[in-house]
A and B are shown apart, each in its own frame.
Chain A
Amino acid sequence: MGPRLKLFVPLVLFAVLALFLFRGLELDPREMPSALIDNPLPEFTLPSLGQDRLISRNDVVGRVVLLNVWATWCVSCRVEHPYLQVLADRGTPIYGVNYKDDDADALRWLDELGNPYVANIADREGTLGLDLGVYGAPETYLVDAAGVIRYRHVGVVDDRVWRTILEPLYMELNAGAASQ
């Protein structure tokens, strides 16, 4: 390497570093793929919120569904709630996991804000949340008809997230389920 060329070494290093940092701007470290992707939904049998019965994995599995982890203490869940209602009104089956919450608070929330859920799993101790690898609400899981977790979205599901990420997958899974 000639002495002239050597002068460019810092520039090249800078360019490489800048490229990495620039790429880093768009990366969200919280967006981690779930460890359970392509794994079966964990087994559970927990009380059904507001009902005097238990709800288990078999009640949820059978069609393509969304599993939404929420709680009344979760501020973003309140932001997300109206959009879940929109999805439910369009006929998307959504099951709720009421995560580490108080039943009475949760029922009041559903009373006041509307209930987009087919049913709610009362995960008071967070045991299902633990098996799912939940680390904060809201989280939304896309579960296929065979009960396999296909996608996990961390954070609020809004129109953009639904249209760009969840809906295409949801459609694809439904088409797959129909053809079988």
Chain B
Amino acid sequence: MNFLRCTLVFALLLVAGRAVAVIETYEFSNPELELRYRQLSTELRCPKCQNQNIADSNAPIAQDLRKLLYQQLEQGASDEEILDYMVARYGEFVRYRPRFSGATAILWLAPALLLLVGLVVAFLTLRSRRGGSALAEQQLSTDEQRQLQTLLDKTEQDS
């Protein structure tokens, strides 16, 4: 049993080593830089494989951009400087959190607008439904009431 467990652990370690080897690791001179590296690399989009950020992508261009990001962070560049550098070369496209501008206004405003539209629709629907049922109650005349009662009595007898 002990031997089996050891073999299993050893086998798992082998696999783990391989999984890590795919992505290069960088040694940061200070942990704060590493934090910013993680943050920025998830926020920068891989220009080649358009639905991945550069942290997740293994495309050569993503590797290059990660290396560049690392170098710039170590050189003491600010987040803003790094993003400007990337945008100057790859366009606003490269940011998953694009700046607010004419072209990106719809991206930023659409959620709020849709929420507003949804709220208005919900409000109108609820109001008309409530109004409708109130109206129906009022319109039930004594005659109709009697009819309803006979129907109800009938179902009771049937069951």
Is B50 a contact of A130 with CB atoms below 8 Å?
no
Is B91 a contact of A33 with CB atoms below 8 Å?
yes
Write out the residue numbers on chain A whose beta carbons fall within 8 Å of the beta carbon of B87: 35
Contact size class for B? 10 to 19
Is A32 a contact of B61 with CB atoms below 8 Å?
no
Knowing A29-B50, A30-B50, the reply to whether A133 touches B91 (Cβ < 8 A) is yes
Of residues 87 through 126 on chain B, the ones whose CB sits less than 8 Å from some CB of chain A are: 87-93
Please, what's the 1-or-0 string for B32-60, where 1 marks a CB less than 8 Å from any CB in chain A? 00000000000000011010000000001
Is A136 a contact of B61 with CB atoms below 8 Å?
yes
> Roughly how many angstroms separate A173 CA and B44 CA in the complex, as a whole number?
35
Is B48 a contact of A130 with CB atoms below 8 Å?
no
Interface of A (DSSP majority class): loop
**Chain B nearest CB: distance from A140 CB in Å?**
17
Knowing A30-B50, A135-B47, the reply to whether A35 touches B64 (Cβ < 8 A) is no
> Roughly how many angstroms separate A135 CA and B47 CA in the complex, as a whole number?
6
Q: Is the CB of B13 closer than 8 A to any CB of chain A?
A: no
Q: Is the CB of A132 closer than 8 A to any CB of chain B?
A: yes
> Roughly how many angstroms separate A33 CA and B91 CA in the complex, as a whole number?
8
**Chain A nearest CB: distance from B98 CB in Å?**
13
Q: Is the CB of B68 closer than 8 A to any CB of chain A?
A: yes
Write out the residue numbers on chain B whose beta carbons fall within 8 Å of the beta carbon of A132: 89
**Chain A nearest CB: distance from B131 CB in Å?**
14
Most buried by B among A29, A33, A134: A134
* Chain B residues within CB distance 8 Å of chain A: 47-48, 50, 60-61, 64, 68, 87-93
Q: List 21 A-B contacts (CB under 8 A).
A: A30-B50, A32-B91, A32-B93, A33-B91, A34-B91, A35-B87, A35-B88, A35-B89, A35-B90, A35-B91, A35-B92, A36-B89, A126-B64, A130-B68, A131-B89, A132-B89, A133-B89, A133-B90, A133-B91, A135-B47, A136-B61
